Amino acid sequence: MAATGASWKTLLDGKTAVVTGGASGIGRATAIALARQGAETVVADTRTDPRGGGEPTHELIEQETESSATHVDCDMTDPAQVTAAVETAAEDDGLDVFVNNAGIVHPEDYDLDPEGVDRIVAVNMKGYFYGARAAATAMDNGSIVNVASVEALAGNGMRPLYGATRAAVRQLTFSLADRFAPAIRVNSVLPGLVDTQMTRSDVPLVDDNGGADALEGATPLSRPARPEEIARPILFLASDLASYVTGADLLVDGGLTRTE
């Protein structure tokens, strides 16, 4: 589809997409957003049910959109499982969009034991490499979007390891954009604080009322993002509206990093 004159209702008609970590949070919102714009979507995740309950993402897509969706069990630390997810999506007409979103975070990762350290590095860094490499083999033309974090830029003393892996994703984006050009575009989205089940329970950074007192004063928009507000920029980068964008970081943080 040409970028000029592209319809906002059919940005991804005829396209096939994979969203890793698509069961919950940003990944779930992204998979739904892509499907609403016409993409046939594979939801790749180690879990089927979303955190906090609700319909599995692929079932919700088939109920609420005209697109088809499939769930594939996928641990991003296992290259064979990553390849299998890509092959499921690409078996008919190839792959057009790959969203590297699966990630893990620990509230205080400085004192993690070696197993915990290895797990964060394996998911947040190696998994993104495996995902992009597998996706590229199935694309003639396409878009890879890596979901990183503003902590790749600013860092966080509570989570130095997490910030380092997010910074690695930025560097991976720049390098792969160069390697895969001109056929495949590679970009990254850097969210700030997002109101997801993970940031409410695993970290936690967001309270039960959707507030984050410690960061609200530093964020010009004065609130966490909703997952849908991260999904829309990902959709932009995935679509032909961003046909001349590659090797770019897109900050989606409510202005947080501009105030530091």
Mention every residue, 6+ apart, whose C-beta is less than 8 A from residue 45. 20, 21, 22, 23, 24, 27, 57, 71, 73, 74, 102
Structure tokens at 75: 């641990």
Residue 126: how many CA atoms within 13 Å on its side-chain side? 12
Structure tokens at 253: 């943080």
Which candidate in 110, 128, 130, 162 is catalytic? 162
Q: Which of 181, 231, 226, 252 is nearest to 39 (CA)?
A: 231
Mention every residue, 6+ apart, whose C-beta is less than 8 A from residue 224. 192, 193, 194, 195, 199, 205, 206, 210, 211, 212, 215, 254
Residue for token pair 């890596």: 146
> Is 128 part of the annotated catalytic residue set?
no
Give the chain's count of helices (H) and strands (E): 10, 7
The separation between CA 36 and the C-alpha centre of its own chain, rounded to angstroms, equals: 17
H or E, element range at 252? strand 249-252
Beta bridge partners of 186: 144
Q: Tell me how far apart the alpha carbons of residues 149 and 173 are, in angstroms, rounded to a whole number.
A: 13
Residue for token pair 């959109």: 65
Structure tokens at 68: 């088809």
Q: Which residues are catalytic?
A: 162
